[in-house]
Amino acid sequence: MRVVAGSVKGLPLKAVPGTSTRPTTDKVKESIFNMIGPFFDGGYALDLFAGSGGLGIEALSRGIDRAIFTDKDRKAIETIHANLEKTRLSGQAEVFKADAERALKAMQKNGVQARLLFLDPPYHMEKAYGLMDKAAELGIMTDDSIVVCEHDRDVELSSRTKYYERFKKELYGSTIISIYRFKGEEGEDFE
């Protein structure tokens, strides 16, 4: 596992020890960023269920200003910190050992406005994908925000949620990447 592109391209990243997380492969990571826009001109990214932090670190390497990483697993938090130190991106990151829903409420209190949300929960936690709408409802997501969901091929996510519409869906082995664009509440249109 490594950083695919950007300011820290090529640096290797540690995986979380054990089998409780499954890191996003470099090939899938590269495909994700090709779909959402390879580089960014600032803004915040949220990496919920961050695992090793690979997606948020990739976003930082490609021009996102700040990333917030959350995970409940102590080993994941230690791995994220180690990967941020190795890539020298710690100064642009906040890392929280917290439940994703509680973390979103804290972000709301702190006035966070994110343009990018990575949702890669354990595959059995299907209800976690509803956190994209929760984040929008709390006012955390910008009107031009994008949500990247990684899920098992057996999990069918809706093409339209309360605030988001899927615009890309790609299959990689047993993993599907669904990418959503903010559309406002159903009936509104921001384009």
Indicate the DSSP class of residue 4. Answer: -
Q: Which neighbouring-strand residues pair with 67?
A: 45, 93
Residue located via tokens 């890669």: 120
The reported pTM is 0.92
Residues with Cβ within 8 Å of 5's Cβ and at least 6 positions away in sequence, in order, are: 30, 33, 38, 39, 58, 61, 62
Q: Residues 156-183: pLDDT tens digits? A: 899 999 999 999 999 998 889 999 999 9
Domains observed in the chain: 26-182 (3.40.50.150)
Measured CA angle at 95 (ends 176, 157), to 5 deg? 20
Q: Residues 99-149: pLDDT tens digits? A: 999 999 999 999 999 999 999 998 778 889 999 999 999 999 999 999 999
